[in-house]
Chains A and B, each alone.
Chain A
């Protein structure tokens, strides 16, 4: 594992493959451990890569290597720390305007597309795009499609989407170029007395659970 300085106060390392679940869980465990240290200012990780910004540029690389080794040696059972997060999703064409056309383009029935999206255990592979957001993967090979050629200006908050080999939920209304296949009303951000905590934490296992329209509207 080659930890390298990329600027005066930031280290980076590619720990493993971008879609690897085991690597994502390791990154999450390292990230949690590093963020507890006063030597670390920020720690961003995703798609197999770890980036650590230090509080002081004079901190030796070996000190940070030591913290990483500690985290790995602890061999935390990450699944103890983070239970599977279930996203109740309504795969209704009115809520997912690309569902029908995408299924047709791929050569599937909409119900098959839904099955292949929902009958799968994902891991959060990267976070940091915006609060509450996580890239999850890998989707079923038959669902691998490029992003839309024309992004939408306004994707509603809660939209469940796919593109490339990943799936995401938009935590807030924003522009977006992914294919919208449903919606969820679950809170992606927990606000408690301890502050803001995202549900889609790096390395967390995630599953989408189909719910019907009545359930969604409730």
Chain B
């Protein structure tokens, strides 16, 4: 079972990320908007750890080589299956030979294309390449309820876990800078001055680093394993995906939450979708 990449855009295969290799310097990776991928898998009846295609900024098209059930969630634009516009987050049925094309999204960055049964993670994406995937084990065609489809243009209340009773970030406003990538998102605003540590330390996903210039960096899925800047807190997992979908110039405000609140919210997501990362 395969699909053929026609226009590759900027895309990679992502799932929950890798396990057990961080201490060897191998970054974990994983979907930038984990919840959007989770919805796509959910709409197909896939396991939550099924890998899908993560497409940044659209400009992507594939031809389905056989009848395929697929799902699309995340940043949305003018998406077509042959001539038919695709209007909502959810799963769809493609016939052999049909072409799925994704324009640049109107808001957000990251669109997820999941395939029934999942994609084999170790494949490279380039125009002309054929990606193999599992046989469809059978499952639903369904739509994500509208109330669960977020706006990526609303100012973001970024929930975060302060470290060591730090309150310096609470209620502060920042703009997403142009310096964003799968490694980290830089923010701009009134500089925060924090003492710089002497030694590097292990970094965790969502860490809010404060470099000497006082402009925070939020660590994303391809972040370095060790970091030399001080960490003032960690962005809560659902807010991290929401932040990933923000564009330069958009505003975020940091809101402190407790670890109990963060775990409760993340557990609700994991209960609904299955294990996430």
Contacts and interface: CB of A to CB of B under 8 A. Distances in A.
Chains A and B bind each other: yes
Interface of A: 5-10, 12, 18, 31, 35, 40-47, 49-51, 53, 55-58, 126-133, 135, 164, 196, 198, 202
Interface of B: 19-26, 28, 161, 163, 198-202, 204-206, 224-226, 234-237, 259, 262-263, 266-267, 270, 275, 277
Contact of B20 (A7, A8, A35, A49): A35
Sorted nearest first, the 3 A-B pairs with minimum C-beta distance are A128-B225, A51-B202, A44-B202
Given A6-B163, A41-B19, A128-B225, A46 B202 contact: yes
Contacts of B226: 44, 46, 126, 128-129
Contacts of A40: 20
B204 A12 contact: yes
B161 A6 contact: yes
Contacts of B163: 6
A106 B263 CA distance: 52
A44 B26 CA distance: 11
Most interface-central of A9, A35, A129, A131 (chain B CB within 10 A): A9
A129 B25 contact: yes
B25 A128 contact: yes
Given A7-B204, A128-B226, A132-B25, A42 B275 contact: no
Contacts of B237: 7-8
Given A8-B237, A31-B23, A196-B24, A47 B201 contact: yes
Given A6-B163, A7-B205, A56-B275, A131 B26 contact: yes
A8 B262 contact: yes
19 contacts: A7-B234, A7-B235, A7-B236, A8-B263, A8-B266, A10-B205, A12-B204, A42-B19, A42-B20, A44-B225, A53-B205, A57-B270, A126-B199, A127-B25, A128-B22, A128-B225, A129-B226, A132-B25, A133-B25
A15 to B, nearest CB: 12
Contacts of B26: 131
A130 B199 contact: no
A140 B220 CA distance: 37
Nearest to A11: B204
Contacts of A56: 270, 275
A42 B200 contact: no
Contacts of A5: 161, 259, 263
A6 B234 contact: yes
Contact of A42 (B28, B224, B263, B270): B28
Given A53-B205, A58-B263, 10 more contacts: A7-B204, A7-B205, A40-B20, A44-B23, A44-B225, A50-B202, A55-B275, A126-B200, A196-B24, A198-B24
B204 A46 contact: no
Given A8-B237, A58-B267, A46 B201 contact: yes
